[in-house]
Amino acid sequence: MNDETLVKECVSGNAKAQRLLFDRFSAKMLGVAIRYIKDKERAEDVLQDAFIKVFKNLKKFKHDGSLEGWIRRIVVNTALDQLRKNKKRQGDLELDDSFIEITTNSFTEEQLQAESLMKIVQSLPDGYRTVFNLFAIEGYSHKEIAEKLNITENTSKSQYSRAKSALREILNKLNIER
């Protein structure tokens, strides 16, 4: 079933189509959520909340871009909302220069796969990780990131630069060539 038909069927209330949509995109979108939310259980909660929003707003999908891209934006925004909620609960933590603990392991290039890279990115402080994911992976501009996170564009650029430096340092400590 193509995306256009799938959307029409979901909007009409077809439970099988809704299940198909969830099954088609949930694994990839969980990966997106995990890039922002370190804890897998919390990332699964974000995924669930995001799919509730997807199904609630599916009738608004215009087919201008890909369905996957539209769902991805909802997942990213839901993850950012969760980070904001946690930030408020933790006394408004700032995007900062938090200490990054680096442990050395004897990695070989063959062992450094996507999962290992994900763990390294996950080790970054929340601010670095969030900006890095939004800019380098999701493709948002620093201006868009600044608006989404309610920070300045320069803060976004600075956090991204610091994230890249921290990642370089971690990879160097692991004796991996860039």
pLDDT given for residue 110 in this prediction: 45
Other C-beta atoms lying within 10 Å of the C-beta of residue 45 = 15
Q: Tell me the whole-structure pTM to 2 decimals.
A: 0.69
The boundaries of every CATH 1.10.1740.10 domain in the chain are: 3-89
CATH assignment, 3-89: 1.10.1740.10
114-173 CATH choice from 2.170.130.10, 3.40.50.720, 1.10.10.10, 1.10.10.60 = 1.10.10.10
99 has a pLDDT exceeding 50: no
The boundaries of every CATH 1.10.10.10 domain in the chain are: 114-173
Distance CA 61, CA 55 (A): 10
Q: How confident is the model at residue 178 (pLDDT cuts 50, 70, 90)?
A: very low
Output the average pLDDT for the chain: 83
Q: What is the pLDDT of residues 110-146, one digit of tens each?
A: 444 566 777 888 888 888 999 999 998 888 999 999 9
Q: Give percent of the chain above pLDDT 90.
A: 54
Other C-beta atoms lying within 10 Å of the C-beta of residue 152 = 11
Token pair listed for 85? 């909620």
Residue 89 backbone phi and psi in degrees, to 5? -65, -30
